[in-house]
Chain A
Amino acid sequence: MASTGDAGALDTAEQDRARTRGRIRVFEAVAMVTIVAVVAGLVLYPIYFLLQAAFDVGLPDTRPPTAYGVQNFAKLFDYPQVIWNTLVVTFSSTLMALVFGFVTAWILTRTNVPFKRTLDQLMTVPYYVTPLLGALAWSFLGAPESGLINQYWRWLGGSEAIVDITSPMGIAWVMALFEGSVAYVMISAVMQSMDPALEEASQVMGAGRWRTMWRVTLPLVAPGVLGAAIFVFAEMLGSFSVALVLGTPARFYVITTAIYHFVSQYPPRIPLAAAMGVSLFVVMFAMLWLYRRLTSRTSYVTVSGKAFRPRVMDMGRLRWVLFGIVAFYVFLSAILPITTLVFTSVQKLAVAFPAASNFTLDNFRQAFAINAVRTAMLNSVVLGMVTATLGVAITGLLAWIILRSRLPGRGVLEYLAMFPQAVPRLVFAFGMMWAWIVFPIPLYGTFWVLLIAYLTVFMPLGVRTISGVVLQLDKSLDECGQVCGASWAYRLRTITAPLLRPGLLAAWLLIFVASVRELGASILLMGPDSKVMTPAIVEAWFSSSSELTAAMALIQTVVITVAILIFSLFPQRLAVHGASAQ
C-alpha cells in the first residue's frame, strides 16, 4: 500500500470517491424503487382489477364501472350448493391428506421400516404425477359406468358400481391422494427436527412408550402438524383441476370450478365470478397468515435448526406391515395412475379386457399429428424454458436483495414477492385477464400474457427456493473475497455464482416443471394462437377420446421426467459443499 504521495492529489482522489459513493447511493435507491414498482405492478395490478370487478354493480359490460356496491357478494348466497360442495370436499380431502401424511411420516421417521430411503424418495413421486393426471387416471379407474374397477367388479359378479370417483368423496379422495405427499414432507420435517433427548428424558423418568408418546411426542409435534393442516386446507380450497375433471361433467361445482364456469360461459358473469374469487382469496390469505404465525412462533422446542436423528422404534414383524402401508400409498398415488394412463393410451377403445387387436400406438401418433396438440406441446416447452430462465434471474435478484442487501423497502419486497402464494392461480389469472383486456397494448391472448402470468404466480416458488440456498451461504465467503481485493463483479463470477449454481439450477427446474403443467392460469389466459399443453389435455378430455387424452398426459409426463433426469445428471457435489460451508 502506497503510504507516500502528494497530499493534494490524495484529497481530490478521495473527494472523487466520495462523489462516486454518493452516485452509487442514488443509483441504489433508483434501482430499488424500480424493482419494488415492477413487482408491485405485477402482483397488485391484477388484484386491483379483480376487486374492481367484484364491487362493480353498475351497467353490465361497461368499464370502468358506473357504480360500486357489495351486492355481488350477497349473490353468493344464491349458490348455497357451491359453498356446501366446497366445504365438504375441502374438509374431507384435508382430513384424508393429513392422515396419509401423518401415518407415512410417522412410519418413515420413527419406526425401523425396511427400505426407508427408497420409500422416502418414492413419497415425492405423487407430487410430480400431479392432481390433474391423477384425476384423469382415477376417472378411467373409477367412473361409475366405464371405470376399470367397476368393470372388473361386475365381471366378478357384482352389480352397479363399487366406486364412484365422480362423487364428492371420490373427488376428495383423489385430491387427498396427491396432497398427501405434500403433507408427508411437512410433517416428516417436524418429526425429524425433534430432539430425541426430550423423549429419552421422559423414559428415564419412568414413563412408558405410550405415555411418552401421549405426553411428550404429540404435544411437541402438534404445532407443526396444525401448521401443515392449515396449509393443506388452504391448498385444497384453491385446488381446481381435480374438481374440473371429475365434477364438471356431472354438474358438481366447487368454488374454483364455479368461478371458471361463470367466466367461460356465455354470457360470462364477471362480477359474480370476481366476488367468488375475492371471497376465496380472503379466506386463503387468512389461512396462510395463520400458518405463517403458527410456524414462525410456536414450533418452540422442536425446531432448533439442528438435524437430529430421531429415535426409531423397533416394530418387529409389524415393520413389514408398515412397509406395506407406505408402499400401498405410493401404489395408489403414483404407480396405479401412471399404469392406468399407459393401459388406456395404447388401446383403440379402452376396455378392461382388451383383445390383442385392440392395442395400438395410434393415439400417440395422433397426438403428434394434430397440429393444435403439437403446437401446444412445443409452446409449453418453449414457454417453460423462457419462464424458468427469466424467473431464475428475477427471483434470484429478489432473494439476494431481500436477504443480503440493507436497502430500505426490502421487507415490503418480500411481502409482495410472496403474495401470489395466497391467491389461487385461477383467481389471479382472472384478475389478469380482466386487467389486460383494457390494457392499451393489446397483449391479451398472446404468449406475453402467459409469460407475465407465469412469472408472477411462480415468483414465490423461485424466491423460496433460491432463498434457501442464499441462507446457507456464509456471508464471510463473499466478504473474504472483498478483503482479498476482489471487485464486486470478480467476486460474483468466482465466488457467489459458483456457490449459488446448484440452487439456481434447482429453481430453474422447479419453475420449468411448474410452468409446463400449469392449468389454472393458462386455461383463462391462453388465446387461440397461444395454446399450451395442460389446458389442451383438459380440452381433449372434454371433447375428444379418453385414449388420446391419456396419450397426451403421458407425453407431458415424459417431458417433465426427461427434464428432471437431465438435471439430476448435474453434479450434486456442489450442493453438499454449499451446505458444509456454514
Chain B
Amino acid sequence: MTEAQTVPAIDVENLSIRYGNVTAVESVTFAVPAGQQLTLLGPSGCGKTSTLRAVAGLETPTSGIIRVGGRPIYDGKRGTNIPAEQRGMSMVFQSYAIWPHMTVFENVAYGLRVRKESGAPLKEKVHHALEMVKMERYAERNASALSGGQQQRVALARAIAFSPSVLLFDEPLSNLDAKLRAEMRIELRELQRRLGVTSLYVTHDLEEALAMSDQIVVMRAGNVEQCGTPSEIYNYPRTAFVADFVGSANLITGDVVESDAAAGTVVIRTPDGMVIHGTTRGRPVGATGTLSVRTVHLTLGSEQPASDVNVWSVTVLRSVFLGDISQVHVRWSDQDLIVREIARPSVTPGQTAYLHASPSQCTLLEA
C-alpha cells in the first residue's frame, strides 16, 4: 500500500486437522505465491474453512506446517503455534462480524488502534480504507444500521485498513443476493490486485472461484482433488468429482483402444461400440478410461459437421429453456448426454441430429 513491504507467500504442508475421531483435513499441501490469490473450493464439509481457520490461527491443527514468508507460524513437530493475534493477518468473516456496538469508523479503526496508531494518521488510514470500498460517507453511522452489502464493505475496509500482509476470506459473499454478489466479486478482485496482498479465499461457489483466483485448490472430504489455474481446473478436470463440481460435464467410460503418449491422444470405445477421441493431458493411460466433456463443449446441429472423428448421430429427447442458455438432452447410444447451447436450441425433440465434440476438449480423467 503506502509503504513498501515484502509481500510474503503462504506455504501449507501436510496440514491435518482432526476433531476427536473425525478427520476434517487430511495432509493438505498447497502454496499461495506472494501477492496472488488462491481459492479453496469445495462443497460444505470438505475442510476448506478449517484449513483457512488454521492459517488464521483460530483452529489448532493436528499436524503439518504453515509458513508465511518462509517463517513457520505453525509447526506440529516442533510445537510452534503463534497465536492468531500475533500472525499479522487479516480476515473477512462469512458473518461479517461487524461489531454492533461501534460506529463504522471505530470498526475500521480497530486494527490500527491495536497497533497503537492515533490522531491524524489513524483518521487518514481509516478514511482511505473506507474510500476504497466507497463507504466514506457512512463513517459515523452506527454499524448495526447498515444493509448486508454495506456491512460487507465495512468488513472489507476493516480488514485492509492496517495494511496486513495476508488477507483471508471465509465465504465473504455467501450472504449477499445474487446481483450484489456478482458486483462485489469484481470489486474484490480489483482491490486484491491493487493492494497486491497475498490472499487465501474460501468459497463453495464455482463462478466466484473462477472469477477471482490466480490459483484454485479443489477440496473434497479433507483432501486436495486438484490444484491449478481457473482455466486448467475448468478445462481439464483431473477427477470425476472435479469435472462434476466445477461446472457440468458428461462422463463417458470405455475401453482404451488406442493411445499415443507423444501426441497425448487417446481413443475409447464404450461397451455398446461408440468411439471417442480424446486428450490425455499427460495422464497415465490404463486399460479402461473415462473422458470428461463439458456440456458447453458439445455442439449439436441438423447438418453433418466437417470432421472425421467424434461425430455421432443422436436423437433429441427434450430441450429446456434456461434463459441465457438452453439445455438439450440427447440419446447417445446407451446413455443420455447433456448439451448446453447459448442460442435458442436449433433442434426439436424427437428429431435426429449430429453431435460433435473436439477431441482436445474430451479430457481423460485420472482413474
Contact = CB atoms under 8 A, between A and B. Distances in A.
Interface stretch (B23-31, B92-100, B338-346): B92-100
Interface string B136-177: 000000001000000000000010001001101000000000
Contacts of B72: 14
A545 interface: no
B104 interface: no
Nearest to A3: B69
A484 B100 contact: no
B97 A477 contact: yes
B85 A483 contact: yes
B78 interface: yes
Given A3-B71, A483-B89, A494 B110 contact: yes
B191 interface: no
Contact of A483 (B56, B78, B81, B82): B56
Nearest to A20: B83
A5 B68 CA distance: 14
A498 B93 contact: no
Interface residues of B, number: 43
Tell me the interface secondary structure of chain A in the complex: helix
Contacts of A17: 80-82
A18 to B, nearest CB: 4
Given A487-B85, A499-B101, A1 B144 contact: no
Contacts of B69: 1, 3
Q: Name the residue in B8, B56, B58, B87 with the highest tally of chain A Cβ atoms < 10 Å from its Cβ.
A: B58
B22 interface: no
B90 interface: yes
Given A14-B78, A485-B88, A476 B100 contact: no
Interface string B320-362: 0000000000000000000000000000000000000000000
Contact of B91 (A14, A483, A499): A483
B70 interface: yes
Nearest to B98: A581
B179 interface: no
A494 B6 CA distance: 31
Interface in B100-156: 100-101, 110-111, 114-115, 144
Nearest to B161: A484
Contacts of B58: 479, 482-483
Given A14-B78, A18-B78, A486-B110, A498 B101 contact: yes
B347 to A, nearest CB: 41
A301 interface: no
Given A1-B165, A14-B78, A499-B100, A484 B110 contact: yes
Given A494-B110, A580-B100, A476 B144 contact: no
A484 B111 contact: yes
A21 interface: yes
A14 B100 contact: no
B2 interface: no
Contacts of A527: none
Nearest to A494: B110
B84 A479 contact: yes
Interface string A4-45: 010000100011011001000000000000000000000000
A63 interface: no
A83 interface: no
B79 interface: yes
Contact of B68 (A1, A485, A486, A498): A1
Contact of B100 (A480, A483, A487, A577): A577
A200 to B, nearest CB: 26
A490 B114 contact: yes
Nearest to B90: A483
A474 B115 CA distance: 24
Nearest to B75: A14
Q: Name the residue in B75, B98, B110 with the highest tally of chain A Cβ atoms < 10 Å from its Cβ.
A: B110
Contact of A21 (B71, B81, B114): B81
- Pick the 10 closest A-B CB pairs, nearest first: A3-B69, A577-B100, A476-B97, A484-B111, A18-B79, A480-B97, A476-B93, A1-B88, A483-B91, A482-B84
Interface of A: 1, 3, 5, 10, 14-15, 17-18, 21, 474, 476-477, 479-487, 490, 494-495, 498-499, 574, 576-578, 580-582
Given A483-B89, A484-B85, 9 more contacts: A1-B68, A1-B165, A14-B78, A17-B81, A474-B95, A477-B99, A482-B57, A483-B85, A578-B100
6 contacts: A14-B75, A480-B93, A483-B89, A484-B85, A485-B86, A498-B101
Interface of B: 6, 8, 56-58, 68-72, 75, 78-91, 93-95, 97-101, 110-111, 114-115, 144, 158, 162, 165-166, 168
